Chain A
């Protein structure tokens, strides 16, 4: 449990960002993870009153407010039409509906958890983030920035970077954090984008050019080839060797779905 000296409702994003310049300030998004720690918070700034909730369909994609609950991504018809079951597959294993009603997409992205299914799924579709100070940048670039910056995440932007995407997450027990997660997407130029997360380090992406796919691509072999490009570590949910094997198999399955006719169905 944390302690809070002062609980503040900012009247604008600008106010929240200004309050956030102080070290004693903690921004409260879903509040799930911070509650598990013992942080002594001087000023807790509640972001839930700002206009940061909701999934907006734009001309060429989506803008997802940082305070949008994970559950909304799972259930959004527009996202389902654009990305099939990607977000449902990626998020529905996270603890329970009640937690996903509280946990936010912005809180998950900002925290940069290694095990994050949210980040892995967003990275699969090459999402961008919009920061109050830092502006707009690819999620991958955001993840590479040093931690501890006192910025404020406003939204996640999805543009038509991929034509089709699938996700596989592997848990030792239902509702636990994943031992590994994988995503794969077809690019407009016919190439592939593959993501592996919970390695247990944070998700990373790699690309495979269309030329490497050949006439009749061998999905399991390509899965292993792509899995070899990532580094894996060991912890209580699995060894590095186990994770590498899993990644090969799961990426293979992702590619099988992506490259098959059945996988194309939801485009129609």
Chain B
């Protein structure tokens, strides 16, 4: 069946199987950033925007995209490169496989929280809550969280508030056990983390307890 939609700002039409998923169609259209990472609708790697909402394209029936506006990472190269530099600067990515879906959802978060110059910086819990559907099997999300905080403060202009700092402190407090277990109390202090090159292990433990530990 023939479907038509806007893809990255251009009209797109294609004959698709009635059981095709949007992910497959987008990959065949050359959007190589869109990947299926888990086969269980869990990992967030296939995230694209459909009418401005982040969606799992692996489970989105392609015919349903008829008439919609679809944006992939290929259509957001400027912001992707910009935020990607922050990720690299924090040493956040290791294998990098999960990056495209992760970057898409960070952009979605920025929009959903209406973050702009002067906005309060979201707490680590708020950031983790929004990004919980993006899995990374290499890291413990600490580098990513640092990169997001830096990107939001330095590039977007978010302002760290007393409230936000409180929430972040709360998150660190919850994970005190994990931090002690690896013998690095510095890990509770984001500033210390940024300067400590070998803090990655401690940071992973922090996040494993505080957020995901998905096995």
Contact = CB atoms under 8 A, between A and B. Distances in A.
A96 interface: yes
Contacts of A176: 214
Given A32-B41, A35-B21, A96-B134, A46 B56 contact: no
Contact of B19 (A1, A32, A102, A174): A1
B123 to A, nearest CB: 14
B132 interface: yes
B47 interface: yes
Contacts of A36: 40-41
Given A97-B108, A98-B44, A173-B215, A44 B56 contact: no
Interface in B108-140: 108-109, 112, 129-134
Contact of A173 (B19, B131, B213): B213
B124 to A, nearest CB: 14
B128 to A, nearest CB: 8
B211 interface: yes
Interface stretch (A2-10, A135-143, A237-245): A2-10
A21 interface: no
Interface residues of A, number: 32
Contact of B63 (A5, A46, A98, A101): A46
A1 B40 CA distance: 10
A7 B214 contact: no
A101 B105 CA distance: 12
Contact of A97 (B17, B41, B130, B212): B130
A2 B213 contact: no
Nearest to A93: B132
Given A98-B44, A98-B54, A101-B55, A6 B18 contact: yes
A96 B19 contact: no
Contact of A102 (B1, B55, B131, B211): B55
Contacts of A71: 53
A111 interface: no
Given A5-B18, A95-B41, A99-B56, A173 B212 contact: yes
Contacts of B214: 173-176
B111 to A, nearest CB: 11
A82 interface: no
B18 A44 contact: yes
Nearest to B212: A174
Interface of A: 1-7, 28, 30-32, 35-36, 41, 44, 46, 48, 69, 71, 92-93, 95-99, 101-102, 173-176
